[in-house]
Structure formats: structure tokens, C-alpha cells
Structure 1
């Protein structure tokens, strides 16, 4: 009796004839397991001398397209997960804002608690004042800006500015500005009877924020903050 080849674990090894016989007995195997095709080598079709085998070229191209689609799929999945994480963080931040039990607690929540909730390094608030206004109001993390400073920074009438690879501005971030390497400024329109303000988000990393970043969630948080401040100060819309 001829010796039978065995695999490393001692079980009889499959021969090429065994595989061929199995595939003949199960003609739908590759249709049920299409991923196996990615590892197979397709033999060139013999069509005579001087005839180009287009089937092999088409299969190669299809495999390359499948690889690209898989890469795009993974990017979309990763982006979706990141967006979901950001959305969850903003929702928690919104709940913290509306649950503040006093105006002072609200300011403390925004400037001291939201950075941890939103995974950013610095958050500050600033309002435009008059020419003789003090440089800083007696609340940590809130600064007074010169008249016209917000339009100068964001652009007249613009709602936000996003920048990467920068040095932060002391007017918005105070003494921590030297640590800010990317930032977002979002205009606060609290009331028609009061000057505009700004909520400033700063990061130590130059790539955290940038001009192409989506701002919908930050705008949502800002609108909630505007309404909450207006309610605490009993201001008109």
C-alpha cells in the first residue's frame, strides 16, 4: 500500500485530485465563498499564438477594484465611528449646559468641564465691550474684546473660523494662547440687545481643527449655549 501524505497535525493531506473532486461535487462552492477567488491564480486562456488573453487582464482589474472598494468601505466605517463618538460627546456637553443651576455654574461648565467632555484642551468665552471696558470680566475663562474684534477675526457677518497649525490669540484664549496650535471660533449671538460674543475651542495639536472640518455639531452646541445664556440673563432674542 502506498504511503499517504499527512499534514502537520497528522491528518491525511488533501491532494489536488481530492480538491478537484470536491469542487465538481459542489459546483456552487465558489459562489458561496467568493473571497476564495481573491487568493486563486487564474490560468491564461490558450487561444493561439499572438492572441492576447483578455480574461486574465479583466480579472486582475476587477480584483484591484475590489481592493479599492474595500479600502473606501473601511474609511467610511472609521469616519462613521468617529462622527458617532463626536456626536455623543456634543450631546453630553449640551446636557451639561442646560442642567447648570446658575449662570456662574453655566460659565464654569463651559470653560472648565466641556474641554474634558469634548476632548479639547481649552475652551474660552469672550464678549465685545466698549472702549473703556476692562480687559477681563471677573470670571475665569471669559474675556472682553475690543469693539469690532470678532468681525476682524472671523470676517464681517461670518459665523465661525477654523484654523490649523497656528499660534492662538491671547485676546480669545488669554495666557494659554501660546499653547494653542489649532482653534475654532464660533460667534455667539445671544441677544439683539447685547454685543456678540465668541466661544473659542483650542487644541495643543495643530491638526485637531482645520478649514475643512464639519461645524454642524459645534453650531448646535453654540445655539444651545446662546439660548441658555439668554434665559439666565433674561435678555430679548
Structure 2
């Protein structure tokens, strides 16, 4: 006699992501806002399958991984730069195909600054970021946190010496890690950060080293037109 314990529960299939073909839409939504990307949110069995997902890749603008990579490479350029031979090769590759010493090229490839394209050494987008950081002038800047989004783990900030009326998106975890402050204490707060304020676009503006700023002078933000005592 067969015994029945009711219908077997089957979890409804989640809709596929329309952009990549390797993940569900829910996974890509999570991966896009995580530095672990999509492959950091699946089990071992599926990690290889989603490992190259473009929706969360550090080469795709505005993903969490992309934002983290901009910061990482900018800091690398100033704190742990490649040696002069590697920088010379990177600058040559930025202009087009160039002869590359294997050992020097491996140094660039290991750091994600160069790659082989059809067997030919080529600079990567992060390589361009590295060179821009080496050439840019970076200086302390006053930054105000406008608001935070806990779901996407991002914050909008205004950079006073850049374009005070154009918010810039940064990683919320970067703010918390750099400053040691609680997330709920950030909105409205003035901070200091190192910035390349000559950047011509928000995507090229990279903020590093967030820290608590000294108190602003009394009346600094007064727009009434009266004299400040």
C-alpha cells in the first residue's frame, strides 16, 4: 500500500537574468551590489558557472566590484606602485601594441593592469585607471555624506572642491571601514578624503582615505550674506 504524505514541495524556479544568461535575476541583483560578485553568493557546484558573469564584474561600470577595483588600483599606484620598467611598459601599451619583456609583463598581468588579447599584450581598463592615478594630482578634499542606501551598500556624497552640486556614489563599506563610524551616523556628516578633483566625470573621480574632518568654522555654510563674526 502506498502512503501519501501530501504533495511534494518544489521551490518555484526563479526568472533568469535577461542580461547574462548564466544567473537568475535575483542573483545578479545581489552580485551587482557586492564586491564578492555573483560567484560569491552561490555554492561550489555553481561557482564556475557564474564566475564570468558580466552583471557583477569589476570591468562593468557601477558594480560594487568595479567601484572597489577603482579604489584598489588608485591606492596601488600611490602606495605599492609597480617598478619603473613595468610602468614604462604600461605606458607603451596604452599607446598600442608594444614589445614586452615576459617578466615585466607578468608583473602587470598579476596586478590586473595588462592582459593578453589574441596572444598580444594589451593594457586593461584598470591599467588606464592606474596611469591616470599616477598622473593626476590628488589632494585632501571636504566631502559631505548626503545619504546611504543599506540595500545596495552605497552612499551618495558631495565633493566640495569638485562639483558640489553633483552627487558621487561610493561604497558604503569603504566609508565605514575607513572612518570606523556607524552607518547611521554618516548621513549629513562632513568628512575628508583624498581626491583627484581635476577629473572630468564622476566615474573618473576616485575618493580614498575617508576620515573624520575637523569641525567647520562657525558660519562657514552661512548663505544669508551677513558678516560672519
**TM-score band w.r.t. shorter chain:** under 0.3
Larger Rg: 1
Which one has the bigger strand percentage? 2
Specify which structure has the bigger relative contact order, considering alpha-carbon pairs within 8 angstroms and separated by 6 or more residues. Answer: 1
Normalising by the residue count of structure 1, what TM-score does the alignment of the two structures yield? 0.25
Normalising by the residue count of structure 2, what TM-score does the alignment of the two structures yield? 0.25
Which one has the bigger helix percentage? 1
